[in-house]
């Protein structure tokens, strides 16, 4: 059967996920952290306890998302559209979480369907909520089922110069490192597969671009302190290639930030960005 709009509200899980210090270190390197980010890339530097990048939430969170309850579809037609994270506490260097997920929305976009999943994760060691994630995917060919189109983008970029701007250059090998955190899709590593998908060369993982952007937000908004990083949402708008330069522009209003990430050609690659911090 095709996408089932009555699946909204269905739940999945609980599922457990464990991570180690090494997992967190590998993720940090995968999103470009280096010698200037010792708390995130080492666990044995003098007077520098290991800490975890807030966007590591996309690796450990999201558990229990009940994709098996929304009907049948071709996973090759699924594209990651949006990603959001909310941190309820600082992520420890190692630990275990228990997550439950929910189908929070299904929208009819005509040429396809947008499915939104939310998940909440509790740290097993304390029994306290640690993080929440939200993701939406666009599934080509699954629209026109008579449902509502859903909300339109509402984040507007302020008509003034950005308050902060940070540029990072991704490595030509960036996707090969990032994939070791779990996403082994050959679209990001196999030239022949990428060409079959319509790209000249493998593209960078969207969540890697998300991680680079999160590093910029953490540095400029939180002074590098993960405990001050509260939430981040964004929409993937254009592919990024390993070796591209990413420039993150931020407009701040109190404890709220609107942001946008562009490549070296000025194209927006991560849009509709919002973040909160303390």
151 pLDDT band (50/70/90 cuts)? confident
The residue from 62, 188, 205, 271 that is catalytic is 188
From the candidates 206, 211, 214, 273, which is the catalytic residue? 206
Q: What is the pLDDT of residues 53-103, one digit of tens each?
A: 999 999 999 999 999 999 998 888 889 999 999 999 999 999 999 999 999
With tokens 């999943």, the residue in question is: 117
Residue 152: its pLDDT value, please? Answer: 82
Residue 256: closest CA among 236, 231, 219: 231
Q: Tokens for 180?
A: 């070791």
**Domain 164-277, CATH 3.30.450.40 — does that match?**
no
Q: Is 256 a catalytic residue?
A: no
Average pLDDT over residues 162-190: 97
CA–CA dist 168, 128 (Å, integer): 35
DSSP string for residues in 68-116: GGS----GGGEEEEEEEEEESSPPPSSEEEEEEEEEEEEEE-SSEEEEE
183 catalytic per annotation: yes
| pLDDT reading at 1 higher than 60 | no
- Asked whether 227 and 267 are in contact (CB, 8 A), the reply is no
> In CATH terms, are 5-140 and 164-277 the same topology?
yes
pTM: 0.96
Question: Is 203 marked active-site?
Answer: yes
What is the number of other CB atoms lying within 10 angstroms of the CB of residue 110?
9
Distances (CA, A) of 230 to 71, 99, 138: 34, 19, 26
CA quadruple 248, 251, 256, 259: dihedral, nearest 10: -30
> Are the C-beta atoms of 258 and 157 separated by less than 8 Å?
yes
Domain spans of the chain?
Answer: 5-140, 164-277
Three-state secondary structure call for residue 9: coil
When mean pLDDT is compared across 21-30, 140-149, 263-272, the lowest value belongs to 140-149
Q: Is 97 a catalytic residue?
A: no
Q: Which residue, among 73, 56, 172, 75, has the nearest Cα to 121 in the 3D structure?
A: 56
Q: Are 121 and 58 in contact (CB under 8 A)?
A: no
pLDDT digits (tens, 9 = 90+) for 196-253: 989 999 999 999 999 999 999 999 999 999 999 999 999 999 999 999 999 999 999 9
Query: Which architecture does CATH list for 5-140?
Result: Roll (3.10)
- The catalytic position among 37, 183, 244, 271 is 183
Q: How many CB atoms lie within 10 A of CB 185?
A: 14
């Amino acid at each position: 059967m095709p996408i089932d709009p009555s699946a909204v509200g269905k739940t999945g899980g609980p599922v457990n996920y464990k991570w180690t210090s090494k997992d967190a270190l590998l993720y940090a390197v995968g999103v470009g952290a280096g010698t200037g980010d010792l708390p995130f890339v080492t666990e044995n530097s003098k007077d520098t306890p290991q800490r975890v990048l807030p966007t590591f939430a996309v690796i450990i969170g999201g558990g229990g998302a009940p994709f098996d309850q929304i009907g049948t579809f071709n996973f090759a037609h699924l594209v990651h559209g949006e990603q959001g994270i909310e941190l309820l506490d600082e992520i420890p260097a190692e630990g275990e979480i228990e997550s439950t997920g929910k189908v929070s929305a299904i929208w009819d976009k005509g040429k396809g369907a947008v499915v939104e999943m939310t998940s909440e994760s509790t740290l097993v060691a304390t029994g306290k909520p640690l993080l929440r994630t939200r993701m939406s995917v666009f599934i080509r060919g699954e629209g026109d089922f008579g449902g509502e189109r859903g909300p339109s983008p509402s984040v507007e970029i302020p008509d003034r110069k950005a308050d902060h701007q940070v540029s990072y250059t991704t490595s030509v090998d960036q996707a090969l490192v990032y994939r070791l955190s779990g996403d082994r899709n050959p679209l990001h590593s196999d030239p022949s597969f990428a060409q079959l998908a319509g790209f000249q060369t493998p593209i960078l993982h969207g969540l890697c671009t998300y991680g680079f952007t999160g590093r910029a937000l953490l540095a400029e908004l939180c002074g590098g302190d993960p405990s001050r990083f509260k939430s981040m949402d964004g929409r993937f708008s254009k592919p990024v290639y390993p070796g591209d330069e990413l420039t993150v522009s931020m407009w701040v209003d109190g404890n709220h930030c609107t942001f946008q990430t562009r490549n070296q050609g000025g194209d927006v690659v991560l849009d509709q960005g919002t973040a909160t911090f303390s």
